[in-house]
Amino acid sequence: METAHTNAAGLSARFSFRPLEMADLPMLHDWLARPHWTEWWGPAPTLAEVETEYGAWITDPTQVQPHIALLDGQSFGYIQSYVAMGSGDGWWENETDPGVRGIDQSIADATQLNRGLGTAMVKAFVARLFADPGVTHIQTDPDPRNTRAIRCYEKAGFHVAGQVQTPDGTALLMVSERASLS
């Protein structure tokens, strides 16, 4: 599915999303080791760890749906969605709404940061998720110190719901409602 959005600079940016494939794992491994990723996603995993974790999601995407974000047909970043309720491992244990989706994402190339492209990517992906009438709202949980991500999500229509404790530590819960789409 392709969605057109205009970034802050007024340039048209076309995004599409395709499911992550096993052949993408070496590329994703490289991305996960980049400083702008490790700053917020933690230490770079080994290729074997990437193959184990992401390979499991590729094989069985019932909980996490991993995607490569494409900008004008070129690999641009990684984005995933998941059903928050029952996600396990200490995540969202009090969630009772099966329609809540969580998202996580990052841009592959640091030179693409601060250009409005992340916001356009998130808006396009959120619109794709809301195309499913069963999705009630979408949430994300950036580190409270990650001001770039927080601003990106705010520009994409998310609002702050408060701080929460996650298995990764304190996070800022941000929510997008259907009504906040514009």
Tell me: pLDDT of 162 over 60.
yes
**Could you report the per-residue pLDDT of 30-87, keeping only the tens digit for each?**
999 999 999 988 899 999 999 999 999 999 988 899 999 999 999 999 999 999 998 8
Cα(28)–Cα(122) distance, integer angstroms: 19
Residues 150/25, Cβ–Cβ less than 8 Å? no
pLDDT at 145: 94
Q: What is the mean pLDDT of residues 117-146?
A: 94
pLDDT at 181: 52
Residues 154/175, Cβ–Cβ less than 8 Å? no
* Angle, alpha carbons 98-77-81 (nearest 5°): 5
Alpha helices in the chain (DSSP H): 25-32, 35-41, 47-59, 117-130, 147-155
Cα(24)–Cα(91) distance, integer angstroms: 26
Average model confidence (pLDDT) for the chain? Answer: 89
pLDDT band at 7 (very low <50, low <70, confident <90, very high): very low
How is the chain split into domains, by residue range? 2-180
pLDDT band at 11 (very low <50, low <70, confident <90, very high): very low
Question: How many CB atoms sit inside 10 A of residue 157's CB?
Answer: 21
Q: Which residues pair with 103 in a beta bridge?
A: 81
pLDDT at 178: 79
Cα(140)–Cα(102) distance, integer angstroms: 6
pLDDT > 90 fraction of the chain, expressed in percent and rounded:
72
Q: Which residues pair with 107 in a beta bridge?
A: 77
User: What is the DSSP-derived secondary structure letter of residue 46?
Assistant: P
Which burial class, exposed, middle or buried, applies to 47 when counting CB atoms under 10 A from its CB (0-12, 13-18, 19+)?
Answer: middle
Q: Which CATH architecture has domain 2-180?
A: 3-Layer(aba) Sandwich (3.40)
pLDDT band at 90 (very low <50, low <70, confident <90, very high): confident
pLDDT band at 114 (very low <50, low <70, confident <90, very high): confident
Tell me: pLDDT of 157 over 80.
yes
Residues 5/116, Cβ–Cβ less than 8 Å? no
